[in-house]
Structure 1
Amino acid sequence: MDPCEAMVDVTPRSMVSTGFLPAGELLESLICVSNEVALIETIPFVQMKNITTMVRRIRLLSSLFEEIQEIDRPLPPSSILCLAELNYVFQRVKVLMESCREGSVMWNLMQTERISNQFYALVRDMGSALDILPLSLLNLTSDTREQVELLHKQAKRVQLFVDPGEIQRRDELLQLVITYKERNRKDKGFVDFRRTGEILSSVGLRSPLEYKDEISKLIAEAEKQAGTGGLIVVSNMNNIIALLSITKIAIFNEDEHPKTQEDVKKRKMPSNNQNDLSYSHSMLFSIPDEYRCPISLELMNDPVTVASGHTYDRNSIAQWINSGHHTCPKSGQRLIHMALIPNYALKSLIHQWCLENNIPQKSTPSSSNTDQTSNKRRSSEATIDHISATKAAVDAVKMTAEFLVGKLATGSADIQRQAAYEIRLLAKTGMDNRRIIAEAGSIPFLVTLLGSQDSRIQENAITALLNLSIYENNKILIMAAGSIDNIVDVLYSGKTMEAKENAAATIFSLTIIDEHKITIGSHPRAIPALVGLLGEGTTSGKRDAATALFNLALFNVNRAKVILAGAVPLLINLLIDDKAGITDDVLAVLALLLGCTEGLEEIRKSRVLVPLLIDLMRFGSSNGKENSITLLLGLCKDGGEDVAQRLLINPHSIPSLQTLAAEGSLKARRKADALLRILNRHCTQITNPLG
């Protein structure tokens, strides 16, 4: 994942949720969105193929909605469910496409893999929705039916598409940013503005107005990201903004400000004090706004960026902070940290502007005039300013991680809270980051902080461990640090619900390794705490608890413990609750628990489960249908005559099983056949009891 990447939730809604709009309103909404998408004229230069392909798919489905709208009889329930899911998918498509069209081109280019993944997920969700569309029950024209069937097959086979041209342009631009930064910081390197202009032109930046608009969008996005504490992201975006600004000057300067080099050479500074004052006063009004400090309104000598994303001169903002203020002077936003990030790119732009206008600059203090503490502080801040995928970037992350771990070990509660938060952010993206942070020795200190009485410290520490655990080797290191007692304590009695839920997600991540299933399952409070979260957590927390229990239940010994902790009634209640939104996860856990004697006995006690499973067998997702049949098959075996009888008297059971036996997945077909044979034998025994 690239350095400017942000996390965006693209999780599909449960396929069995209820509370849908009436069919007429659903169709009107779908037709409206389809028409809006079909009328798109300007396709952005980034994600062009994914967008055009998505537009084509939605246009194909628009004829389906129009034909369904003409049907004058009630629609089958499964078609209502399909329309509701498609409406939800289409709304997300619209938001994503608007973001691509109206947002920053450069920001989208930096995140091309993530956005491509979102398009891929939306197409898959579209295919899942079409799984439950009963084409045979709808009076459609043959052309529309063929179009929908073809689209359905394509959606199920869709592959993730990341435009290699966009990857190449992004990498070239990142390299140009690195070159430009090296030129600014070490007075070496050369930026090829001709090539830079060509690359920017290829993504739609071809005029001064387009450059200006893009820079404004990037600045707004940088402020947004800074508000979430994304220091690395903001630093990278500042460098990109600076490169755009200097490229705009290099390419369009003569057209915007006609002047000759001779004019610049003839410009001289006044020599006496009175003229100096007059010159300074006149220059105040000719300084570009982006080069002025918002506090002093003077030309910035050492620009730095604060947590809000705004840039100030170092002396001015330092005085503001040292006087006891903890907010951004420009936005009024409370600063989540007090780090001053050097904006080398803007500093270089100001320096070049001063040279062009023959204006002297103050010299910045040398290292010999600063004490050791200041040097260390600036060194730690400078490590944030880097671009990923280079050796320099790896070294910078290493230095940052070591600095932050030092603060975890020796800092006050406030410093530990901030350090844990920065590690949480740094570990959010990139496997290299997660490896480097662990190698810096962060894990034992984060485990210790799980016991903090400060809710924010605890929450940051458990989330940082969750992010670190994504890297395979870190799972082993976290377990080796003796973390389970502390993680279970947070899961059982964490200070916030988010801390509890992230503890459950951490357990899920750790139990990917089989040995950890045994260790965590043997902890006396781990499974009961996860079961407790099934009842009290948010939708996300309940899903984390269910998936963690699923992983643990893969190990046979743990299944009885899950049942003893009272999981089965809670899981069945989650199936009944149409707002829970975790149907597939719950079914997967129940199907596992059915594999032990205690589980079978406990599940058979429920009188509401069989009707639910019959409905899910008809309207559920592919996985939901498979697990529903698995449960029904298990309940009918070995003394399950009562369940078999209930299936036989339900008018929907046999048709649904026959449909799945013919059209379902390989597993679903096999299990549907087995269940039909059992029901057939049971029916024969009833009609011919003597054999």
Structure 2
Amino acid sequence: MIRKIDPNERRILKFPAVRPCESISPTILLTSLISLCHNISNFQSKTFPTQKKITRETFRQVGILHIFFEEIRENCPNYTNSLILCLSELHFFLQKIQFLLQDFTREGSRLYILMKSQCITSQFKLLIKSVAASFDIVQLNSLKISCEVKESVELLANQARKSKVETDPNDEWAMERVKFMLNQFENQLEPAKVSIKWILDYLGIQNWVDCNKDVVFLEDQLNNIEDDERENCFISNLLGFMCYCRAVLFNSLDSEDEQIINQIGEMSERRFLQSLNPEDFRCPISLELMTDPVTISTGQTYDRVSIRKWFGAGHMLCPKTGEKLTSTELVPNSTLKKLIHEFCSENGVSILTPGKKGKDSTKTVLPPGLAYKEAIRFLAQFLAGRLTYGTNKDKNKAAYEIRLLTKSSVFNRTVLIEVGNVAPLLDLLTSSDENTQENAIAALLKLAKHTKGQKAVIEEGGLMLVILVLRQGLKTESKQIAAATLFYLSSVEKYRKLIGSTREAIPGLIELIKDGTITGKKNAMAAIFGLLLYHGNHKIALEAGIVSELIGLISSIQRSELLSDALAILASLADKTEGSIVILKSSALNLIIGLLKSSISRAGKECCVSILLSLCKNVGNEVVSALAKEAAIMPYIYSVVADGSCHGSKKARALISVLQEFQESSSSRLAGGLAVRKERFVNFA
């Protein structure tokens, strides 16, 4: 009967308790009450950094209630309506107490619970009064329970009615100290480290790992806030405080901390979509998937419809960065558009249907808490100093901190770039320590998602260093992250030519397609696809042998996402005559036809149609004739017309037209030949 609710999925300090139904069996109700008391008592073994006085009193009261419920189950065969009502009310309030205790002991909630001390005190005051009121419903003298238990319950009820629940004075003092330090940050003053250390010791936060748990918890809470600006600001400030503590206060690590820092864990770019976050596919204005992404003069990308409405309202500032726009020209972002369409196709998302809204991008672009902003600025400067002047361990840790800070916050990326963290991170790419190199390239990947980061990497001479990691990285992960970094750099039109003209770039990506992991192959193909948007890179890729590698990959793999990526590159190459010729010489025609007839994804089929259409147009009758002999191919082309995207359907219809024209032309030539032969036969006769 007790509701099974995962405490980590429930919003903290939210109590979805329910009253038992009126027809509930008394036996079941009592069993559930006893189980509740048992669950609450189990919390006594846990650590409570704050709220200690309240929790001690709670455990004492629940212990008395536990004995009371056991006595009733053993000695009261008849259950009156008033008793059942009393037990139902107690069940409801005990659920809430259990929820509170779960929140007190939730991993990473220590600072948050401290700062909510007054709210928690009010909750307990209400619950204790409610428990006392529950006993007003029933006459204890009418129950067949022992005198000792009856006296204990009466005493509990009387004490609860008179109880003056107050916040622990020590908690009050600690809470005020945190508020004072947040105020210091707001006024651009850096709090004394000894004061911060006192707070962390009070909360039992002894090392980097403990501090990181609070950061992760606060990030999760911030992401789940909907439309509560005050709470948003409150949590944002606490998050900035804890991020600062994690990096600055725990700058020397113990062995356990070092082990975690050196383990990539969930921060590894194990899948391409962890390098290219699906949230990047949402328009920062509408928060919906972009159907037509365009880039404005500040380098930021928006959905065309949304940014036009923004301009139409008279705004001449970039919605994300606040920079003044030099023009309202909209440049189509074809690389991102292609990736969005592939993502939607692979995940069964209709790009025409508004999806579930993501988190409000303004929370990561311009965090509402002033203390957060200033804490991150102090932290960014600290990390820049560590990267420049610290020991090798200091540099590794600083790179890892930047990697964490840039994971989802545009504001953090902006500040870290502005204070000069890009150049020292680039220096770490030549480190002989594999973990340091990986943390540095991963941090740069996140910074390269920002236009200022892309510019800094190029201007600081970082392109060759990124390519060096791509070719000679000490870890496989470092190589594939370097490929993803090149993808983001290739999103800038003027950098595509620069990257392509760097001799080792495209060959290095092709080598990763050949020998890399699944993630490495996907990252490399995404980067190449972006580079091919500059026509001059087609020849370089063809000369480097990309077609043969892609054909070999397509022939040997079964994963649909890799097939789609490989076919998308072939489709891009086939769009030009030189690409079509190389593809045809590689004997790929029958392979492409076979794939079109197979059960690959819709995106894959559309790419096959696109390749075949380009081959027909660029190479000519040899391909058209071969396709015309494939009588069974037409239903598959028609399926793309019916089920494909708008772009895919258009290509399929064009291919059908080419084949029909060829067949009609062939029929005409055949009919003409028969007429000539018939005339000659008649004359001869």
- Give TM-score, length-normalised by structure 1: 0.51
> Counterparts of 2:631 and 2:8 in 1: how far apart (Å)?
52
RMSD (Å) for aligned C-alpha atoms: 4.0
- Judged with a 3 Å threshold, the aligned counterparts in structure 2 of structure 1 residues 487 and 637 are, in CA distance, closer, same or farther, namely same
Aligned-residue offset at 1:689: 3.6
Aligned-residue offset at 1:613: 4.2
Corresponding residue for 2:636?
656
Where 1:446 maps in the other structure, the secondary structure is helix
Amino acid of the residue matched to residue 255 of structure 2? H
> Counterparts of 2:629 and 2:123 in 1: how far apart (Å)?
75
**1:214-613 to 2 correspondences below 5 Å:** 216=102, 219=105, 221-222=107-108, 246=121, 248-254=123-129, 259=159, 301=202, 303-309=204-210, 326-327=255-256, 336=261, 389-576=368-555, 577-579=557-559, 581-613=561-593
Unaligned ranges ≥5, structure 2: 15-49, 51-90, 132-155, 166-199, 215-249, 263-365, 673-685
Corresponding residue for 1:645?
625
> Counterparts of 2:128 and 2:13 in 1: how far apart (Å)?
27
Amino acid of the residue matched to residue 482 of structure 2? A
Report if aligned partners of 2:525, 2:569 keep a CA contact under 8 Å in 1.
Answer: yes
Aligned-residue offset at 1:465: 0.6
**1:673-688 to 2 correspondences below 5 Å:** 673-688=653-668
- Judged with a 3 Å threshold, the aligned counterparts in structure 2 of structure 1 residues 104 and 676 are, in CA distance, closer, same or farther, namely closer
Once the two structures are superposed, what CA deviation does each residue of 1:525-554 show, in whole Å capped at 9, x if it has no partner?
011101111011121211111110011011
Aligned-residue offset at 1:649: 3.1
Corresponding residue for 1:106?
11
Report if aligned partners of 1:617, 1:624 keep a CA contact under 8 Å in 2.
Answer: no
> Counterparts of 1:668 and 1:324 in 2: how far apart (Å)?
55
Once the two structures are superposed, what CA deviation does each residue of 1:545-592 show, in whole Å capped at 9, x if it has no partner?
111001101101001111111111111223221137322222221111
Q: Pick the structure with greater CA Rg.
A: 2
Report if aligned partners of 1:434, 1:468 keep a CA contact under 8 Å in 2.
Answer: yes
> Counterparts of 1:324 and 1:448 in 2: how far apart (Å)?
23
Where 2:205 maps in the other structure, the secondary structure is strand
> Counterparts of 1:611 and 1:216 in 2: how far apart (Å)?
58
Once the two structures are superposed, what CA deviation does each residue of 1:2-60 show, in whole Å capped at 9, x if it has no partner?
xxxxxxxxxxxxxxxxxxxxxxxxxxxxxxxxxxxxxxx99x9xxxxxxxxxxxxxxxx
Once the two structures are superposed, what CA deviation does each residue of 1:71-109 show, in whole Å capped at 9, x if it has no partner?
xxxxxxxxxxxxxxxxxxxxxxxxxxx9x9664312799
- Judged with a 3 Å threshold, the aligned counterparts in structure 2 of structure 1 residues 324 and 303 are, in CA distance, closer, same or farther, namely closer
> Counterparts of 1:514 and 1:468 in 2: how far apart (Å)?
18
Higher relative contact order (CA 8 A, sep 6+): 1
> Counterparts of 1:651 and 1:659 in 2: how far apart (Å)?
15
- Judged with a 3 Å threshold, the aligned counterparts in structure 2 of structure 1 residues 656 and 458 are, in CA distance, closer, same or farther, namely same
Where 1:672 maps in the other structure, the secondary structure is helix
Report if aligned partners of 2:567, 2:604 keep a CA contact under 8 Å in 1.
Answer: yes
Once the two structures are superposed, what CA deviation does each residue of 1:493-546 show, in whole Å capped at 9, x if it has no partner?
101011111100011011111011111111110111011110111212111111
Amino acid of the residue matched to residue 524 of structure 2? A
- Judged with a 3 Å threshold, the aligned counterparts in structure 2 of structure 1 residues 531 and 611 are, in CA distance, closer, same or farther, namely closer
Corresponding residue for 2:29?
none
Aligned-residue offset at 1:452: 0.6
> Counterparts of 1:637 and 1:300 in 2: how far apart (Å)?
73
- Judged with a 3 Å threshold, the aligned counterparts in structure 2 of structure 1 residues 302 and 104 are, in CA distance, closer, same or farther, namely closer
* Matched-pair identity in %: 28
> Counterparts of 2:623 and 2:98 in 1: how far apart (Å)?
69
Report if aligned partners of 1:490, 1:503 keep a CA contact under 8 Å in 2.
Answer: yes
Aligned-residue offset at 1:487: 0.3
- Judged with a 3 Å threshold, the aligned counterparts in structure 2 of structure 1 residues 558 and 419 are, in CA distance, closer, same or farther, namely same
- Judged with a 3 Å threshold, the aligned counterparts in structure 2 of structure 1 residues 300 and 522 are, in CA distance, closer, same or farther, namely closer
Report if aligned partners of 1:648, 1:654 keep a CA contact under 8 Å in 2.
Answer: no
> Counterparts of 2:119 and 2:629 in 1: how far apart (Å)?
71
Equivalent pairs counted in the alignment come to 397
- Judged with a 3 Å threshold, the aligned counterparts in structure 2 of structure 1 residues 240 and 490 are, in CA distance, closer, same or farther, namely farther
Q: Identify the range of structure 1 (635-644 vs 445-454) with the bigger mean alpha-carbon deviation.
A: 635-644
Report if aligned partners of 2:417, 2:452 keep a CA contact under 8 Å in 1.
Answer: no
> Counterparts of 2:593 and 2:111 in 1: how far apart (Å)?
51
Report if aligned partners of 1:617, 1:628 keep a CA contact under 8 Å in 2.
Answer: no
> Counterparts of 2:584 and 2:463 in 1: how far apart (Å)?
34
> Counterparts of 1:422 and 1:595 in 2: how far apart (Å)?
44
Aligned-residue offset at 1:325: 6.0
Report if aligned partners of 2:506, 2:540 keep a CA contact under 8 Å in 1.
Answer: yes
> Counterparts of 2:410 and 2:252 in 1: how far apart (Å)?
40
Q: Identify the range of structure 1 (532-541 vs 549-558) with the bigger mean alpha-carbon deviation.
A: 532-541
Where 2:255 maps in the other structure, the secondary structure is coil
Amino acid of the residue matched to residue 308 of structure 1? V
Report if aligned partners of 1:215, 1:245 keep a CA contact under 8 Å in 2.
Answer: no
Report if aligned partners of 1:449, 1:458 keep a CA contact under 8 Å in 2.
Answer: yes
Amino acid of the residue matched to residue 395 of structure 2? Q
> Counterparts of 1:500 and 1:253 in 2: how far apart (Å)?
59
- Judged with a 3 Å threshold, the aligned counterparts in structure 2 of structure 1 residues 587 and 323 are, in CA distance, closer, same or farther, namely closer
Aligned-residue offset at 1:308: 3.3
> Counterparts of 1:108 and 1:574 in 2: how far apart (Å)?
52
Aligned-residue offset at 1:261: 10
Q: Identify the range of structure 1 (531-540 vs 663-672) with the bigger mean alpha-carbon deviation.
A: 663-672
Amino acid of the residue matched to residue 209 of structure 1? Q
> Counterparts of 2:653 and 2:569 in 1: how far apart (Å)?
23
Once the two structures are superposed, what CA deviation does each residue of 1:138-194 show, in whole Å capped at 9, x if it has no partner?
xxxxxxxxxxxxxxxxxxxxxxxxxxxxxxxxxxxxxxxxxx9xxxxxxxxxxxxxx
Amino acid of the residue matched to residue 370 of structure 2? K
> Counterparts of 1:554 and 1:653 in 2: how far apart (Å)?
30
